[in-house]
Structure 1
Amino acid sequence: MILIDVVMERLFVEGVGELRVQLELKTGSLTALVGPSGSGKTTLLRLVAGLDTPGQGRICVEEAVWLDTHQKINRLPQHRSIGYVFQDTALFPNMTVLENIHYAAPAGQQMLVKELIEATGLDAFVNQKPARLSGGQRQRVALARALVRQPELLLLDEPFAALDAQASQTLGQVLLQLHQTWRTTTLLVSHHQADVQALADRVIGLTQGRVETDDSMAKQSPDISLVETITHITYDETQQKWLIETPTTRLQSANPAWGQRRVGDLIKVVR
């Protein structure tokens, strides 16, 4: 269980007020924070990460106390078991994909790095630098880099904001599969209602620093599906269809949007 109980004076759109949030997060859950811009969602993530300090509060992760203003306990960000994915990814531009992930990895975790590269479909891009990647690919690198530390808490700040619909869907599938595999407790800030409904176990609505709604999401039985890397793509002039191959499947479609896909991209394969 993760306990978050914080109070902080903050300037909202409506004027000066208090961010006052008290939450209990179930270990292994994926909770979405929603609400209008300026309602305190990113501020709450920064307080949990230790990047900002509340006027008063307490944050406990399992048995560990990360923050207790009454007892004057305030762990530094590097001493909190978190993975943080920023909206702008914050990748090192002079490092390759592999180097960015390795930089965050604890010593002796080469196999974990390899697993995450495969799970996020980045095999074809390990020697590329961020400037050569699409927005969705950069977000996948940031996600792998955040998870390589095996954090107790994963914080995601608007990871879908700058992505088109296709890249957003792909990232959502990758995130969901990683969450199901690693069971890392996750706090997701997003304005994308479709992604929130597809991913979250629980949705918390903030308005001017206060919890206004707190809803559990009823999950439907998921499709039996995989997210796989495209290994080959061609266009069949006779059938006027795109043909896509993955390590386990051969797909075809007349949808012209498939012409925008490239080798190395991820695609959802439903069984």
Structure 2
Amino acid sequence: MIQIDVVMPRLFTEGVSDLQARFALESGSLTALVGPSGSGKTTLLRLAAGLETPRQGRIVVDESVWLDTQQRINQPPQQRSIGYIFQDTALFPNMTVRENITYAAPMNQQPLVNELIEATGLESFVNQKPARLSGGQRQRVALARALVRRPQLLLLDEPFAALDAQASQTLRQVLLDLHRAWGTTTLLVSHHEVDVLALADRVIRLVQGRIETDERINKAEWAITEPITRIEYNQIQQYWYIETATTQLQSTNPAWSQRKVGDLIQVGPGT
């Protein structure tokens, strides 16, 4: 269980006010933080990571107190068991994929490094440097590097923002598979509804630094309707390929031959 209770002055679009958030994260859960730009989502991640200090607050992870302003406890980021993935990945440009991941790994953990390289589908790129990778590949390296220390809390700040639909879909699946396999407690900031609904089991909406709603997601019920932006048929593998603004779909259903660009399609369970 991770308990977060913080108050911090912040400049919002409507003026100076307090970011004031109090909530608990169940172990192994994946919670999404959503809301308008400037509502305090990234600031909340930075407070959890120890990159900023609130005016008052308390953060307790299991039995470990990371922050207690009354007791003057404030563990620095390197002493908090966190993995943090930024939108720009922040990889070391002079290191290869393997070296970036190994650098963050504990001593004598090469088997874990190899496991994560395989789990993220990076085997063919281990000797490449970040400049030679696509945006989606760099985010997968960042994910492996964040998980290699087995963090108690994984923080994801808009990891899909700069990716195209195909790269987003691949990263979503990799992230979901690793989350299920490792059970890491995760806090995700995203503006993309399809990413939130595909990954999160709970959504907290921030508005002007306050929690407006806090809801569980029933994945059996959600669905999003989007226009088709691309459709084609793969003659060799005999399936239809459809792309929308946020995802990609494949099907051998012959009824898909009647679809065309601009048609609306439902993205969600059972699609």
Instruction: Please say if 1:72 is aligned against 2:65.
Output: no
Matched residue, 1:33: 33
Give the CA deviation at 1:219. 2.6
Q: 1:71 to 1:163 in 2, by over 3 A?
A: same
Q: 1:21 to 1:107 in 2, by over 3 A?
A: same
Instruction: Render the CA deviation track for 1:101-130: whole Å, top value 9, x for unaligned.
Output: 000000011000000000000000000000
Give the CA deviation at 1:14. 1.1
Matched residue, 2:195: 195
Give the CA deviation at 1:65. 0.1
Matched residue, 2:264: none
Matched residue, 1:179: 179
Q: Is the 8 A contact 1:28 1:183 kept in 2?
A: yes
Give the CA deviation at 1:253. 3.8
Aligned mates of 2:93, 2:151 — CA distance in 1? 24
Structure-to-structure mapping, 1:1-271, within 5 angstroms: 1-220=1-220, 241=234, 251-253=237-239, 255=241
Aligned mates of 2:163, 2:53 — CA distance in 1? 31
Matched residue, 2:228: none
Report the residue type matching 2:40 in the other structure.
G
Q: Is the 8 A contact 1:170 1:268 kept in 2?
A: no
Report the residue type matching 2:155 in the other structure.
L
Give the CA deviation at 1:13. 1.2
Q: 1:149 to 1:16 in 2, by over 3 A?
A: same
Q: Is the 8 A contact 2:241 2:250 kept in 1?
A: no
Give the CA deviation at 1:17. 0.6
Matched residue, 2:259: none
Give the CA deviation at 1:255. 4.2
Report the residue type matching 1:196 in the other structure.
V
What percentage of aligned pairs have identical amino acids?
Answer: 73
Aligned mates of 1:91, 1:14 — CA distance in 2? 35
Q: Is the 8 A contact 1:173 1:268 kept in 2?
A: no
Instruction: Render the CA deviation track for 1:41-85: whole Å, top value 9, x for unaligned.
Output: 000000000000000000000000000000000001000000000
Q: 1:9 to 1:97 in 2, by over 3 A?
A: same
Aligned mates of 2:89, 2:43 — CA distance in 1? 17
Q: 1:104 to 1:62 in 2, by over 3 A?
A: same
Dislocated runs of 4+, deviation >4 Å = 254-257
Give the CA deviation at 1:268. 9.3
SS at 1:67 equivalent: strand
Aligned mates of 1:89, 1:96 — CA distance in 2? 14
Aligned mates of 1:242, 1:204 — CA distance in 2? 44
SS at 2:128 equivalent: coil
Q: Is the 8 A contact 2:239 2:250 kept in 1?
A: no
Paired residues, what number? 236
Q: TM-score scaled to structure 1, two decimals?
A: 0.83
Report the residue type matching 2:181 in the other structure.
T
Cα RMSD, aligned residues only = 2.0
Q: Is the 8 A contact 2:242 2:250 kept in 1?
A: no
Q: TM-score scaled to structure 2, two decimals?
A: 0.83
Report the residue type matching 1:193 in the other structure.
E
Give the CA deviation at 1:252. 4.8
Instruction: Render the CA deviation track for 1:84-103: whole Å, top value 9, x for unaligned.
Output: 00010000001000000000
SS at 1:176 equivalent: helix
Give the CA deviation at 1:254. 5.9
Aligned mates of 2:6, 2:107 — CA distance in 1? 34
